[in-house]
Structures are given as structure tokens and as C-alpha cells.
A and B are shown apart, each in its own frame.
Chain A
Amino acid sequence: MNIEEKIQRTLAELGADNAEIVQALFAEVRAAMEAERQGLISGGAANDAERQKACRALRDRWLARKNGIISAIDEHWLKPSPRELKPLVGRAFNELRQAGAELEVSQLASGVPIKPDHRSAAQAGEATQVQPASADPVAAPDLTLPGAHRALGSLHPVTQVLREIEGIFLELGYRTETGPEIESVYYNFDALNIPETHPARDDWDTLYVKLPGSKDNAAVLRTHTSPVQIRAMEKYGAPLYLIVPGKVYRHDNPDASHATMFHQVEGLAVDRDISFADLKGTLDFFVKKFFGSGTRTRFQPSFFPFTEPSAEMAVSCWACGGKGCGVCKQSGWVEIMGCGMVHPFVLKNGGINPKRYSGWAFGFGADRMAMIRYGVTDIQLFYQSDVRFLEQF
């Protein structure tokens, strides 16, 4: 009975019922292993590829988890061994396994010399490879089956759009700033020239928060990212080139185009001799980058308390190119943001002298940009965490 046959039987079947026979069996296996190893080393190999192949064949014969000789011994000798023999068999098996480490390819290969004139290692490998299992031709798998996937996750579409927008302004040397979402009425309104007494205050439907020790209506969930203008001016002074992406909140009943929480991007540039021309040029650059180089811009007068002059910027319709369609309500233009020259009152509140410095600012909804970019028709989808939606991005 050769080793291949012995390892398919249990110790009981082999009649190994005492320590001596067991030790002899293990000794026989170790001897065979050492002989094969030495055979490979003395045989050498024709080249490195042959050597690798031969080493791997030998290693697999002994150490492969499936159908390897050591696995078979574990399965047939060790596991079913009788209780009284178990410690002995376990120790012998462990020693065998430790010795088997010599057969790892990295260990083996360094010992096998390259001998181009000698019998090729491939033949040597074949010669030792007499296992019936590997002699069977491997059945060809159906290679047209889909691959085994490791699925990637995804970034939220609004995050993707925010990053793209941020990236465009970073290219122009702007810095990113954030700021708190629970904000004082001073930063959110008063410092931005929106006093309680002016009806402009009603343009922002506000959610107020209660904080211990503060009186009613003193703190808000910021209604826009604009308070960061003041905070950043105070923190950095001029010159200042800034982009502020972030969450904002409105007391709005949710529908397809309104969300209680959404995202804005604020931009601000303060420097000497910043003019309306810089506002136009920079925003034109931005929309060409974002919507495509053929995009045109249109600026119309508007009103925001914190800018003067103020403008509403529209871009030529990306859907029809300006000819008029459903997207642009037949006008050829789609309004996407408010902008303007920073009001001197606001600069002053930020501690910047409006006689020396001027600035321009803009703000828009990032969710709307994401809706445009991906053809999303309902803003609520962004905030419902539905995998059927998220996996599309």
C-alpha cells in the first residue's frame, strides 16, 4: 500500500492501534516528503518558470487545503483517531505540519538550482505527480457566467455635485469654509443688512431654536450660508476668496422642489478693485465648467439686502441650447443663482473697510444643481435614503 492509499484510510482501518505503529506511519510520511523535496532540489530546473511550476506542484501535492496529503491525514487519521491516541496523533501531526512548511514555494524555490542542460523540472514535476485526482482533466467552467463582484459603495449625488463645484473654485484659488448651522440672528440676518424691521426678513422662512439661557427668536437654523461671509471676514480679513458649501434650513412644507433641509453654496471674493466685471467673469467661467463650454450667462437686476448692485444669473438652457423648451419654460434661459457686489454695510460688519476693499458674492442651491445634473425631478429623493435611488449614482 503506498502513501496515497494509506492516507485515504483511518488509523483503525490501517490497524494502527498503538503508539509505535502510529509513529512509524508518520515517519514514513515524513520520509516520503523529505525524499520528494530532495528529489526536486537535486533535479534542478531548466529555468525560473519551470522551477516555480515544479515547486508549486510539489507544494500543492502536500499542502493544498483540498486534496493535499496533510489535509487528508488531518481528515482521516487525526480527526477520527480514538481518544487514547489523540494526544499522540495530534503532536505527530503538528510536527508533520511544521516540517511541511519547508515545502512552501518561497522556501523551496531558493533551494532548487537552475540547470539548463538537465532534465526539465516540468518533467520532474510530472514524474512525481501521480495523484489520481490531478490526473483527471479539469472540467472547463462556463466562463460566460458573470464575475464574482465586490460592489463599490457610492457618494450621495449632492456630495458629488458639491465636490465638483468646490473643485472648480479651488482651481481658482478659493478656500473652503464651513460655519455652524445653529446660528445667531445677528449673523444670519442683522449683520447681513436684514433687520427685523424690514420686510425683506420675510423672504426667509425661518426655523428658530430654543437654547438654554437665550430668549425666544434669538437663535435660528441658518436659512442660508451667507452668515459665513461675516464670520470669515472677521476671521481672515481681506483679501478673501471663499467658497462655503453647507446645509441650510427653511420653515417650508416639503414638496417636489422644497425641502426643510437642503444645501447651498456661497461664494465670496473681497479684494482691492473687485468689480462687477469679476463677478460676471468668474460666474461665466463657473457655468461653462459645470454645464459645458457653450453655456452663456445672463445677468438681470434683482434685490438682496446684502449685495448692491444685486443680480439674478440665468444660464442658457442646457436642454435646448436656448431655443426654448419645457425645461426653460420656452424662455431659453434658466435662473440658477443670486449674486451681487457685497454691500458696504456687510463689509463693515465683517471688519473690512469698504472704501479700500470691494467684493462680490453669490449663493445658490446645490440640490437644484444636482437635480439639473442628474435629471432628478423631486428634491425629496435626496433625503429619503432609498437604495433604489442611491445606487444610480
Chain B
Amino acid sequence: MKISLNMLREFVSAPADVKRLASDLTRIGVNVESVREQEDDWILDIEVTSNRPDCLSHLGVAREAAAFYRKALRMPGAHLAESDIRAKDAVGIAIADTDLCRRYCGRVVEGVHVGPSPDWLRRRLEALGVRSINNVADVTNYALMELGHPLHAFDLDCIRQHRIIVRRAKPGEKLGTLDGVDRTLEADQLVIADAERAVALAGIMGGEESEISNSTRRVLLESAWFAPASIRRTAKKLGMRTEASYRFERGADIEMAPVALDRAAALIAELAGGEILRGSLDVYPGKKSRAAIELRETEIRRILGSALLAGKVERLLPALGFRVTRRGKTAWRVTPPSFRPDVSGEVDLVEEVARHYGYDRLPSRLRSAPPSIERDSRRAKESELTAGLVAIGFREIIPPAMVDPEENARFTAQPPVAIENPLSQEASAMRSSAMPSMVAALARNLDRGRHDLAFFEIGKVYTPWPNMPASSGPSAGLASLRHSETLADERRVLALGLTGSTGSAGVHDKPRELGFFDLKGHIETLLGVFDIRPLRFESLAARPYEPNLAGRFLHGNEALAEFGELRQALAAQYKLRQRVWLAEIYLDALMRHPLRPRVFRAFSKFPSAERDFSLLVPEEVTYEHLDQMIQGLARNEIRGYGPVERLPEGKIEKGYYSLLLRVTFQSAERTLTSEEVSDASRELISALAELGVRLRA
């Protein structure tokens, strides 16, 4: 809202220093965003929040200034020289739908000469960003800027039978509005009609056929009050926003209707000539008195933490237009004025007092929450997990969760959640897999010549619940959702993306291309943060991965992680020229496991012996088989073991691959003799022999 300092000064004696005025207004909540000089005037640009329609006018801003500076508020004069002809003989007004129009006032000005406005009016309007049209239309806009009440001027001779009826539109009723659009109306949209047809869209825009023109001689001025929700619904539906609808949907001042009408009629008579017919028509079926609100000193203290302000109530609230009567020593009965639809409860009055007193003068106190013995294990787990990720070289990314659903479908069969009004096709669904965002992130950096990448993301994937109850009235179902319920299945995942080599080539290192076991190792490291028993691995065939290079870890039947090489056909679609390794770790499942416990176990003081066994293993026997067999032995002397070297099948002998297994023997009680080590070795070998494994000759 633009405010002219000159116009404002007609309402209140504001300080000469416009900068000070601006900062004082901002301090009390009338937020002046900018101030600029314009010819002999200053224009203040005020950001008016949607709860304060009263401040969408010079009068409203002046009222705030008057209360702050303790000055009187002056209303503009309306010198009405009325003729002997009665207005009600010239026009009839009826409100058919009083729920949507609680008041309709009208005046008639006869014998006007429509033409350009005088310079002062044109300049003032233009300074406020309003285009000058003609003297009659300009006056209605000027009164709007002054008083905040929207007015409309009809050419009375275009109103059939000179009758105004405020009613809902007939379904399919047509109206050509002033913006040149022919509109088809719906039954819940309020119109101003004459005896035969709609002539204006109530509170939003007039009709072309009754527009003021140079040949207009008789003007019917409308000043009414329309129900905010109805105006808002209609304006939204038709995609219109006008100065009038903007104010009506926020709540116009019903008591201002006749005042603004008189002001405009007087100005029209002054600037366009003509005579004002006697009397104003005022159909006011919706008169309501506002309920008084009790304001207690104790509540002021409870909400603001200070009792100081109680003394301000009896000065401040009346200056802002409230009616205040004392009730006992520590309370008041306060009736809000008609122009303050935002004030309906005690706490609203507390705010009125506080903002004029000044928030910065209110006390300040630091208060902590009561101490709690509850531990936030989620936080501890997540911070260990991310510390691990950072330590092994992964960088965190936060890619957008919105994706192209077609791209999403390349990675998962789960449906994504569709966005009704997306900004673009590329961001028209909430992803059901973290992979598309991860691959896009890798591709983007590969394109820029960065070849060694390790990314992680902690984010959500989204999919509709499979059985959303459709029968129980969906909107009611959604509104009654309680806190524990979610509308869609949202799952937290940790996504990993890996590509390139083990480091950049340098003087010390010869990097090697990353492979499946680099990824698997990272996942084992990360899962190792938790105590997951038993943890099971299996190979996996899944949409985004190469068939023979994917696997997953499970606990019971619950998958904790799936990973593998990005399917090369998919990599080609992203024009990736190197192998890419991906993983999704399911955090909701993982986080249910406790962190790896820290329990000290004494280590042996006795020496250990290491032995390497060169094994020939039948090709169908996996390392997991050997592993389970050795674990099944449960020999205390075997402290640890691991594969050191593996030669593929057929290199040594057909049907067998060769595996060098390094085993560490150690006892907690004594130094093992070579015989004891040999005994344990023999037992190991004979156990493995059950799998068809034998020592290489």
C-alpha cells in the first residue's frame, strides 16, 4: 500500500521528518518498506499484513500515527449540496442474498460531465500507482485510497428499470467485465443485477455495459459490504484480483460504507458537476453489534511477562477506536471497532497494547526446559553414522526430492507421489527411490571433469500407502488424521554413490579402479557401527543394478541395505562413461538396531601364530560356506582368519578355484606349541574337506 505523506497529513499532524515517521510506524507494526520523494510529496510503501485491512488506507495509517503521537484524527469533509429530487425515486435497491451482502448504500448524481480529472487528482493517484481514467472513476479510486472502502460507479441509464438487485448468479449467467472478458458465472457467485441481467461482479469488478462513459449523465454510486469468504472464493475461481476484491476478502469496514459514499458523491459533484439527489439509499439487513471482550491485567502479565502495560490500556485502546469500560480494579470490557475484524479475543487486545508500547521495551528472560533423563538415541546413531561416512571420504549432498516420474520408474517399481501443481515435468513427483537424484548428482560432476566421486545423502523416499481407505470420505479422513499417522509412506534412506578410483594418481600412490568390494566394504563398515545379529548377505537382482554385481544385507527377512553397480544400460542413458556404484541403506530399519556395544574384553598376553593355507575350493563353494564351516568349528585357538589371495577357477585345476586363507592362532591361557597349532590346523582342514576343499599340493 502506497501512502502519500501529503494526504496522510490531511488526517493527522504527522512529524515533518519522514524517516522518523517511517521508523515509528514500523516499530508499531505498520511496516514501512521504503520511502521515496516524489515532486512535492513523499511516498511511503507499506507492507500491510493480511489481518489489517484497515491499514489499506490513509485513514487507517493515520489512525495508527495519531495513537502513537497522541494527536487528533481528522476526517475529510463531505459538503453535500443535495437537490430536491429524491434518490429513492430514481433507483430502487434490494438485497436478495443477505448472507453475502450485509449492507448496500447508493447515491445518485445527475447531470455530470465525464471528462479528465484535474491535475492535482491525476498526480496524486499516479503517485499512488493508480491509473487515471476519468473524473468519476478517479473519485471512486481516490476515496478508496483515502478511506479504504471500495466504491463502484454505474451509468444509471444503463441499469434496466433503474433497479439494483444483489443476488447470486444464475448458473451459466453471462457477464462482460470491465477488463474485456466475457465470463460465465456459477450459482454461488454474487452479482449486482438490474431487472434483467447481471451488471457487475459484486465486490470484484463492474460490467462493461454499465460502465461510465463520456456520455454518462446520471451516476449511481455503490458503497456496499460483501462477505469476505464469498469474494475470495469467486475472485480465486475467476483468477481476478482487484483493489476492491483485495479489501473485501480481508474484511471491509461496514460502517465506512455511507461515509465513503458521501465523500465520493461530494467530490464528483465538485469535479464533474451535477447535482446529488436527496438522501442516500441504505439497505442494511446485516447490522450486528460487536461483542465486548474482557481484558484482564493478569492476562497482560501472563502473556507479556510485565504488568507495566496495564496503565496504557485506557489511553491506547480508545485512541485506536476501541470502546473501553473499566470492570473492577484489574479488568476492562473492550469493544473493538467495526474496522478491526482481526480483533476477536483477549490476546488480540494484549497485542494491541504491546505493539504500541514497543516490543523492545518488554522484559527479556532466558528459560531452559526442565532437565530430562531421556536420551535421544536417534541423534547419537545418526551422528556416528555420518562421522563414519565423512571419515571414509563421502561428501554429503542434498538433492531435490522432486523428480521426473519417468526417470524414477527406471530405478524402482514403487510408485512415486504425484504433485498436483508441479513447476515442471522434471519435478512433478516425490521420488520413491533415492537413486535418480544420486545418479544425476554423479553425472553432473562427471560432466565437469570430476572423475573420483563419493557422495552420500540422508533423505526420504515417498510412496502412497497401498491401501488408503477411499471409502470413508477422503477429506474427512485426512482432517481427522492424528499425529502418528502419515498420509503417505515416507521412509528415510541413506544413499551412497561411488565412482572412479581409490584416489587421484600421485607421486606416492597408484590408484586402482573402484569395484564392488569397495562399495561392499563401505557398507560393512557403516553397518558395523550397529550391533546387528545375525547379519546376512545375499546376491540380488533388482531394477537399477547389473544382474551379477548387486547384493543386499538382511537381518531376518528385513533388508537393511541394497547395493551394486548401476545397470550399464541405465548408465548409458545418463551418458556415463565409467562404472558407477550405488547403495540404498534403509535407515528406519537400521536405526532400530542398537549401536555396537562398547564392552572391554581382555586380550591374550601370549604370542599368536599365523599360518597360510593354500586351498583348492570347488567352484560351487562360496567363501560364505567356508566362513560358516570355520565358525561352526568353534575352536578357541583360532583367533581370526581371512582370505588373502584368490585365483579364479581353472587357473590351477579345473572345477576348483584357489584361495589363500590366513589363519591366526592364539590362546588366552598359554603360548601355543607347534603341535597345538598343527592340531588345530588339521582339524580346520578336515572340516573344510567336508565341503570338498583340499590343500594345494
Complex Cα distance, B576 from A211, in Å, reads 35
Complex Cα distance, B479 from A278, in Å, reads 33
Asked whether A180 and B393 contact (CB < 8 A) given A175-B372, A275-B302, A276-B362, the answer is: no
Complex Cα distance, B485 from A234, in Å, reads 12
Whether B180 sits at the interface, judged by CB under 8 Å, is no
* CB–CB A261/B400 < 8 A: yes
Whole-angstrom distance from the CB of B219 to the nearest CB of chain A?
Answer: 31
Whole-angstrom distance from the CB of A355 to the nearest CB of chain B?
Answer: 10
Complex Cα distance, B614 from A186, in Å, reads 68
- For chain A, residues 193 to 212, give those with C-beta under 8 angstroms from any C-beta of chain B: 197-200, 202-203, 207-212
Asked whether A184 and B478 contact (CB < 8 A) given A209-B420, A260-B402, A302-B29, the answer is: yes
* CB–CB A269/B397 < 8 A: no
* CB–CB A387/B445 < 8 A: yes
* CB–CB B367/A278 < 8 A: yes
Q: Which 8 residue pairs are nearest across A and B when measured between Cβ atoms? A: A301-B29, A173-B369, A277-B305, A213-B470, A275-B305, A241-B369, A303-B49, A385-B441
Report the stretch among A24-32, A112-120, A149-157 that lies at the interface.
A149-157
* CB–CB B306/A387 < 8 A: no
* CB–CB A301/B400 < 8 A: no
Complex Cα distance, B395 from A155, in Å, reads 6
Picked from B347, B359, B366, B508, the residue with its CB within 8 Å of the CB of A299 is B359
Question: 5 more A-B contacts (CB under 8 A) besides A153-B395, A300-B29, A383-B399?
Answer: A101-B610, A156-B397, A211-B487, A275-B303, A390-B396
* CB–CB B365/A239 < 8 A: no
Complex Cα distance, B355 from A170, in Å, reads 31
Instruction: Count chain A CB atoms within 10 A of each CB in B359, B402, B503 and give the residue with the most.
Output: B359
- For chain B, residues 650 to 694, give those with C-beta under 8 angstroms from any C-beta of chain A: 671
Whether A391 sits at the interface, judged by CB under 8 Å, is yes
Residues of B close to A234: CB separation below 8 A: 482-483
Question: Which of chain A's residues has its CB closest to B666's CB?
Answer: A106
Whether B304 sits at the interface, judged by CB under 8 Å, is yes
Picked from B386, B394, B427, B465, the residue with its CB within 8 Å of the CB of A260 is B427
Residues of B close to A285: CB separation below 8 A: 366
* CB–CB B363/A186 < 8 A: no
- For chain B, residues 345 to 390, give those with C-beta under 8 angstroms from any C-beta of chain A: 345, 347-348, 350-351, 354-355, 359-360, 362-372, 374, 376, 378-379, 386, 389-390
Instruction: Count chain A CB atoms within 10 A of each CB in B367, B464, B475, B609 and give the residue with the most.
Output: B367
Whether B391 sits at the interface, judged by CB under 8 Å, is yes
Complex Cα distance, B419 from A100, in Å, reads 69
Residues of A close to B347: CB separation below 8 A: 308-309, 341, 343-344
Asked whether A148 and B354 contact (CB < 8 A) given A153-B391, A235-B483, A275-B303, the answer is: no
Asked whether A110 and B468 contact (CB < 8 A) given A186-B479, A251-B421, the answer is: no
Question: Which of chain A's residues has its CB closest to B506's CB?
Answer: A148
9 sample A-B contacts, Cβ–Cβ < 8 Å, listed by A number: A174-B369, A180-B490, A181-B462, A199-B250, A247-B460, A276-B354, A300-B29, A309-B350, A309-B355
* CB–CB B419/A277 < 8 A: no
Whether A386 sits at the interface, judged by CB under 8 Å, is yes
* CB–CB B306/A300 < 8 A: no
* CB–CB A276/B303 < 8 A: yes
In the complex, which range does the number of interface residues on chain B fall in? 35 or more
Question: Which of chain B's residues has its CB closest to A154's CB?
Answer: B395
Whether A187 sits at the interface, judged by CB under 8 Å, is yes
Whole-angstrom distance from the CB of A153 to the nearest CB of chain B?
Answer: 4
In the complex, which range does the number of interface residues on chain A fall in? 35 or more
**CB-defined interface of B422-437 with A at 8 Å, one 1/0 digit per residue?**
1100010010000000
Whole-angstrom distance from the CB of A237 to the nearest CB of chain B?
Answer: 11
Residues of B within 8 A of A (CB): 26-29, 31, 49-52, 228-229, 232-233, 246, 249-250, 301-306, 345, 347-348, 350-351, 354-355, 359-360, 362-372, 374, 376, 378-379, 386, 389-402, 417-423, 427, 430, 440-441, 444-445, 448, 450, 453-456, 459-460, 462, 464-465, 468-470, 474-475, 477-484, 486-488, 490, 503, 506-509, 607-612, 614, 671, 696-697
Whole-angstrom distance from the CB of B661 to the nearest CB of chain A?
Answer: 13
Residues of A close to B422: CB separation below 8 A: 207
**CB-defined interface of A258-299 with B at 8 Å, one 1/0 digit per residue?**
001100000001000111111011101100000000000011
Residues of B close to A230: CB separation below 8 A: 483
Picked from B364, B509, B610, the residue with its CB within 8 Å of the CB of A284 is B364
Residues of B close to A182: CB separation below 8 A: 417, 430, 462, 486-488, 490
Picked from B360, B392, B474, the residue with its CB within 8 Å of the CB of A218 is B474
Complex Cα distance, B368 from A269, in Å, reads 9
Complex Cα distance, B478 from A214, in Å, reads 8
Residues of B close to A98: CB separation below 8 A: 611-612
Whole-angstrom distance from the CB of B273 to the nearest CB of chain A?
Answer: 39
Asked whether A303 and B430 contact (CB < 8 A) given A101-B609, A343-B347, the answer is: no
* CB–CB B614/A94 < 8 A: yes
Residues of B close to A249: CB separation below 8 A: 402
* CB–CB B399/A197 < 8 A: no
Question: Which of chain B's residues has its CB closest to A175's CB?
Answer: B376
Question: Which of chain A's residues has its CB closest to B227's CB?
Answer: A197
Picked from A170, A185, A277, the residue with its CB within 8 Å of the CB of B362 is A277
Complex Cα distance, B303 from A273, in Å, reads 8
- For chain A, residues 62 to 94, give those with C-beta under 8 angstroms from any C-beta of chain B: 87, 90-91, 94
Instruction: Count chain A CB atoms within 10 A of each CB in B360, B397, B422 and give the residue with the most.
Output: B397
Asked whether A390 and B369 contact (CB < 8 A) given A153-B390, A301-B351, the answer is: no
* CB–CB A210/B418 < 8 A: yes
* CB–CB B368/A107 < 8 A: no
Residues of B close to A301: CB separation below 8 A: 27-29, 351, 354-355, 359
Question: Which of chain A's residues has its CB closest to B350's CB?
Answer: A309
Picked from B233, B364, B401, B697, the residue with its CB within 8 Å of the CB of A90 is B697
Picked from A211, A231, A278, the residue with its CB within 8 Å of the CB of B468 is A211
* CB–CB A253/B354 < 8 A: no
Residues of A close to B397: CB separation below 8 A: 156, 385, 390
* CB–CB A385/B608 < 8 A: no
* CB–CB A173/B399 < 8 A: no
Whole-angstrom distance from the CB of B432 to the nearest CB of chain A?
Answer: 12
Whether A377 sits at the interface, judged by CB under 8 Å, is no
* CB–CB B481/A209 < 8 A: no
Instruction: Count chain B CB atoms within 10 A of each CB in A98, A104, A170, A174 and give the residue with the most.
Output: A98
Complex Cα distance, B421 from A199, in Å, reads 20
Picked from A91, A181, A278, A300, the residue with its CB within 8 Å of the CB of B27 is A300
Complex Cα distance, B464 from A210, in Å, reads 9
Whole-angstrom distance from the CB of A164 to the nearest CB of chain B?
Answer: 13
* CB–CB A199/B398 < 8 A: no
Whole-angstrom distance from the CB of A285 to the nearest CB of chain B?
Answer: 5
Complex Cα distance, B475 from A215, in Å, reads 7
Question: Which of chain A's residues has its CB closest to B371's CB?
Answer: A173
Picked from B396, B448, B459, B614, the residue with its CB within 8 Å of the CB of A153 is B396
Instruction: Count chain B CB atoms within 10 A of each CB in A150, A154, A213, A261 and give the residue with the most.
Output: A213
Complex Cα distance, B430 from A174, in Å, reads 31
Whole-angstrom distance from the CB of A308 to the nearest CB of chain B?
Answer: 5
Question: Which of chain B's residues has its CB closest to A155's CB?
Answer: B396
Question: Which of chain A's residues has its CB closest to B421's CB?
Answer: A208
* CB–CB A276/B305 < 8 A: yes
Complex Cα distance, B479 from A92, in Å, reads 81
Residues of B close to A58: CB separation below 8 A: none
* CB–CB A110/B671 < 8 A: yes
- For chain A, residues 207 to 241, give those with C-beta under 8 angstroms from any C-beta of chain B: 207-219, 221, 230-232, 234-235, 239, 241
Whole-angstrom distance from the CB of B106 to the nearest CB of chain A?
Answer: 27
* CB–CB B305/A208 < 8 A: no
Whether A134 sits at the interface, judged by CB under 8 Å, is no
Whole-angstrom distance from the CB of A97 to the nearest CB of chain B?
Answer: 7
Whether A311 sits at the interface, judged by CB under 8 Å, is yes
Residues of A close to B306: CB separation below 8 A: 275, 277
* CB–CB A303/B52 < 8 A: yes
Asked whether A104 and B359 contact (CB < 8 A) given A241-B369, A308-B347, A341-B347, the answer is: no
Question: Which of chain B's residues has its CB closest to A299's CB?
Answer: B359
* CB–CB A173/B609 < 8 A: no
